[in-house]
């Protein structure tokens, strides 16, 4: 549970950090179909830019695809001159000269994963593009991304005139109510899409909800297996201690005290198992986060709250698993137990 939910939560938080680092207030997309939204015509930008409370707009065509030896990489084609280039700090080489230059700049993690430096080339689809710069994008997702101009990205992908994100900045001190009204105005001119406040994009996306639900569903199956496993362990413990339980009953122990003893042992077993599970889960997160297929794509979320929830669930699983064995042990009669 810690590993699965931590990976899903890490991806969501990574996207949130990316939006904060870039400085986007509103995102327009058609994200209802999955993690990567459908494309739409870039002419929408002119209509949105004319709306009240819109300070700046910029367009993006983003894809996740295999690049050379990396199984999956984020590739971001960005409108040249748009504000989302501004947060990047060039560490090596230079930035693109203009929007028509067929070249890429790499985030620091992308350069490390692809083992590229300035002057090397990167193959995207059928194009060999030179690396002209290495940049710090101020978030893990940004640093794990390949950047090129929107025009070049559209040419390479064969999607001329298409984008899948329209990013918006509003004037400073714009109220939440005004931003909500802007989103409604955009919905009127782009009914098939959505305009969302940037920090709400991840939480309301159907694709992210599916990933989150799958993580918890798989964890639930693991919990059910855990209940059966602990119950079997506790039943075996009761059977092996029939004689001892009979002696305790014979010397005057109440049956509810026997139940309490078995439940405490079961809960302790769950607690110890939960602690070990959390440690293994954290190690799994660290290992997966450092793997070439995931590193730079998401930042594993090692969340103390999730760890406490996992341990609490393990204790509850222990208690639930011990209910039947505890009841079974309390039904023993001293004479019968002492005969075994």
pLDDT in tens, the chain (340 residues): 777 777 766 666 666 566 665 678 898 988 655 557 789 999 999 999 999 889 999 999 998 888 888 878 889 999 998 988 988 899 999 999 999 999 999 999 899 888 999 999 999 988 899 999 999 987 777 888 999 999 999 999 999 999 999 999 999 888 888 998 999 999 999 998 888 887 665 555 555 566 566 677 777 777 787 778 777 877 787 777 777 777 777 777 888 888 888 888 888 888 998 899 888 888 887 777 666 555 555 666 777 887 888 888 888 888 888 888 888 877 777 665 556 5
Residues 191 and 226 both lie in one domain: no
Cα 161 to chain centroid, rounded: 31
Would you say residue 12 lies in a domain?
no
Domain of residue 62: give its range: 17-204
Mind giving me the DSSP string for 154-166? HHHHT-TTEESEE
Mind giving me the DSSP string for 33-87? GSSSPPPEETTHHHHHHTSTT--EEEEEEEEEEEETTEEEEEEEEE-TT-GGGTT
Residues 130 and 94 both lie in one domain: yes
**What is residue 147's three-state secondary structure?**
strand
Note the pLDDT of residue 292: 59
Residues 165 and 261 both lie in one domain: no
**What is residue 222's three-state secondary structure?**
helix
The rounded distance, in Å, linking the Cα atoms of 282 and 244 is: 39
The rounded distance, in Å, linking the Cα atoms of 170 and 173 is: 9
Write down the residue that tokens 């709400």 correspond to. Answer: 200
Residues 174 and 45 both lie in one domain: yes
Residues 120 and 73 both lie in one domain: yes
Residues 296 and 160 both lie in one domain: no
Final residue of a domain: which of 204, 219, 242?
204
Would you say residue 74 lies in a domain?
yes
Question: Are the C-beta atoms of 189 and 48 separated by less than 8 Å?
Answer: yes
Distance of CA 246 to CAs 228, 235, 287, Å?
Answer: 26, 16, 49
Would you say residue 191 lies in a domain?
yes
Residues 243 and 328 both lie in one domain: yes
Note the pLDDT of residue 318: 84
CA dihedral 130, 133, 137, 139 (to 10 degrees): 60
Cα 327 to chain centroid, rounded: 42
Note the pLDDT of residue 25: 86
* Total domains present in the chain: 2
HSE, CB side, 13 Å, CA atoms: give it for residue 318: 22
Residues 261 and 200 both lie in one domain: no
Would you say residue 10 lies in a domain?
no
Spatial neighbors of 189 by CB under 8 A, at least 6 apart, are: 44, 47, 48
Residues 196 and 230 both lie in one domain: no
Residues 195 and 227 both lie in one domain: no
Would you say residue 2 lies in a domain?
no
Would you say residue 329 lies in a domain?
yes
Note the pLDDT of residue 153: 95
Question: Are the C-beta atoms of 72 and 63 separated by less than 8 Å?
Answer: no
Would you say residue 135 lies in a domain?
yes
Burial label for 202, CB within 10 Å (0-12, 13-18, 19+), is buried
The rounded distance, in Å, linking the Cα atoms of 7 and 212 is: 9
Write down the residue that tokens 């939006």 correspond to. Answer: 19
**What token pair was written down for 289?**
């986060």
E-strand stretches of the chain: 26-29, 40-41, 56-67, 70-78, 89-93, 104-107, 121-124, 127-136, 145-149, 162-163, 165-169, 194-197
Residues 153 and 33 both lie in one domain: yes
Final residue of a domain: which of 204, 238, 266?
204
The rounded distance, in Å, linking the Cα atoms of 237 and 327 is: 13
Note the pLDDT of residue 245: 76
Residues 193 and 226 both lie in one domain: no
Task: Please compute Rg for the chain using Cα positions.
Answer: 28
Cα 28 to chain centroid, rounded: 21
Residue 189: CB atoms within 10 Å: 14
Question: Are the C-beta atoms of 233 and 265 separated by less than 8 Å?
Answer: no
Would you say residue 229 lies in a domain?
yes
Final residue of a domain: which of 147, 174, 204?
204
């Amino acid at each position: 549970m810690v590993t699965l939910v931590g990976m899903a939560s890490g991806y969501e938080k990574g996207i949130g950090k990316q939006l904060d680092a870039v400085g986007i207030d509103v995102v327009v997309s058609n994200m209802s179909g999955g993690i990567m939204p459908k494309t739409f015509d870039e002419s929408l930008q002119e209509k949105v830019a004319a709306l009240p409370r819109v300070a700046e707009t910029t367009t993006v065509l983003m894809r996740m695809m295999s690049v050379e030896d990396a199984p999956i990489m984020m590739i971001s084609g960005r409108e040249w001159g748009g504000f989302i280039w501004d947060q990047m700090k060039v560490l090596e080489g230079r930035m693109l000269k203009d929007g028509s230059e067929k070249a890429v700049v790499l985030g620091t993690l992308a350069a490390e994963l692809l083992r590229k430096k300035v002057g090397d080339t990167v193959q995207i689809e059928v194009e060999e593009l030179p690396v002209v710069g290495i940049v710090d994008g101020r978030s893990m997702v940004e640093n794990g991304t390949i950047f090129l101009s929107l025009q070049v990205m559209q040419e390479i992908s064969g999607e001329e005139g298409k984008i899948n994100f329209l990013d918006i900045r509003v004037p400073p001190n714009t109220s939440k109510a005004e931003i909500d009204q802007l989103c409604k105005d955009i919905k009127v001119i782009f009914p098939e899409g959505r305009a969302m406040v940037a920090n709400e994009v991840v939480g309301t996306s159907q694709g992210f909800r599916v990933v989150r639900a799958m993580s918890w569903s798989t964890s639930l199956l693991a919990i059910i297996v855990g209940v059966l496993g602990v119950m079997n362990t506790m039943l075996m413990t009761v059977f092996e201690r029939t004689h001892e339980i009979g002696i305790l009953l014979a010397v005057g122990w109440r049956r509810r005290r026997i139940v309490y003893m078995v439940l405490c042992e079961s809960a302790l077993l769950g607690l110890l198992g939960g602690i070990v599970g959390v440690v293994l889960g954290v190690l799994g997160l660290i290992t997966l986060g450092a793997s070439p297929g995931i590193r730079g794509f998401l930042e594993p979320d090692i969340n103390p709250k999730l760890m406490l929830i996992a341990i609490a669930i393990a204790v509850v699983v222990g208690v639930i698993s011990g209910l039947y064995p505890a009841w079974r042990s309390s039904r023993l009669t001293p004479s019968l137990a002492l005969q075994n």
